[in-house]
Amino acid sequence: MNLRVMLIDQNRGRVAILEQALIDNGYEVVARSSVEDNLIQRISETKPDVIIVDMESPDRDTLESMRCISRDQPKPIVMFTERSDQFSITEAVKAGISAYVVDGMNPGRLNAIMEVAMARFREYQALRDELEETKSQLEDRKLIDKAKGILMKLKGMSEDDAYRMIQKISMDRNIKIGEAARNVIMVADLLVGDDKP
């Protein structure tokens, strides 16, 4: 029988990716939750076997409280025993995930799910890092173009020479090229005044 998985993740993009990956791997994703849902009711209604939560979710404490309630209600328990045949708790925490097993589901079956979840979380983080890097490079490019324009106008330089000057500043002062460009722009502003088109 397919394992029923519930996902709690504040990050909509990431949870969509994870949901698809789990479905592709044959799991049934019974619910996706972000903050504000009536979590306990959702869990009672959807009866998941496993709940995957992102570590940044404030709902974790609500989940923790459910195993202490005496009423007849699902009791999720956080997976927290390091066993050599299981995924590493430390790696899971580092990847930003916590997993809860509900009412007697065999924790051994969690392994495969966690592999999928951790891989997706890490992938997502790598994409985010790449995106940050790209944005930063794009920002640098704009600054360099602006600085080149200033040098060409003020000193009658060719585009190539202007670029080489910025590069030189960057190397001589051991700063990033984006910062060098920013410095050129700033100095030009001070010396020439505010005569932006």
Partner 1 sequence: METISNNKGTTTMQEPEKADLCFGIMALSDCAVMAVAREKGFFEQQGLNVRLSKEASWASIRDKVVVGELDGAQMLAAMPIAASLGIEPFHVPMITAFSLGLNGNAITVSDSLLQQMYAMDSDAMVSPITAARALKKVITSFDRKLVFAHVYPYSSHNYELRYWLASAGIDPDEDVQLIVIPPAQMVSHLGEGDIDGYCVGEPWNGQAVQSGIGHTLVTSYDLWNNKPEKVFAVQQDWLDRYPATHQAVLVAMLQAARWADHPDNREELAAILCNRGYIDAPLEVVSTSLHGNLEVLCRHPAQSLSDFNVFFRYAASFPWVSHAQWFISQMYRWGQIGEVLNIRQVAKYIYRPDLYRQAAQLVGIPCPLEDEKVEGCHAEKWSLNDIEMGRDLFFDGSVFNPDNVVDYIDHFDVNSLNVDIDALKTVANRPGAQ
Distance of CA 62 to the CA centre of its chain: 23
When binding is defined by CB under 8 A, the residue of 90, 104, 174, 195 that contacts partner 1 is 90
When binding is defined by CB under 8 A, the residue of 32, 42, 60, 146 that contacts partner 1 is 60
Least spacing, CB of residue 101 vs partner 1, in Å: 10
- Residue count of the chain: 197
Binding segment for partner 1 (CB under 8 A), chosen from 62-70, 137-145, 161-169, 188-196, is: 62-70
When binding is defined by CB under 8 A, the residue of 1, 24, 26, 36 that contacts partner 1 is 36
C-alpha 31/C-alpha 19 separation (Å) is 9
Q: Is 93 in the site for partner 1 (CB under 8 A)?
A: yes
Distance of CA 142 to the CA centre of its chain: 26
Q: Is 105 in the site for partner 1 (CB under 8 A)?
A: no
The helix/strand/coil state of 25 is coil
C-alpha 38/C-alpha 135 separation (Å) is 37
Token pair recorded at residue 148: 């080149």
Binding segment for partner 1 (CB under 8 A), chosen from 22-30, 64-72, 124-132, 170-178, is: 64-72
Q: Strands 97-102 and 76-78, how do they pair? A: antiparallel
Q: Is 44 in the site for partner 1 (CB under 8 A)?
A: no
Q: Specify the residue, 99 or 116, whose C-beta has the smaller distance to partner 1.
A: 99
C-alpha 86/C-alpha 36 separation (Å) is 32
Q: Strands 97-102 and 28-33, how do they pair? A: unpaired
Element (H, E) at 178: helix 177-192
Q: Specify the residue, 92 or 150, whose C-beta has the smaller distance to partner 1.
A: 92
Q: Specify the residue, 46 or 62, whose C-beta has the smaller distance to partner 1.
A: 62
Q: Is 64 in the site for partner 1 (CB under 8 A)?
A: yes
Residues found near partner 1 in the complex (CB under 8 A)? 35-36, 38, 40, 55-65, 67-68, 70, 77-81, 89-90, 93-94, 98
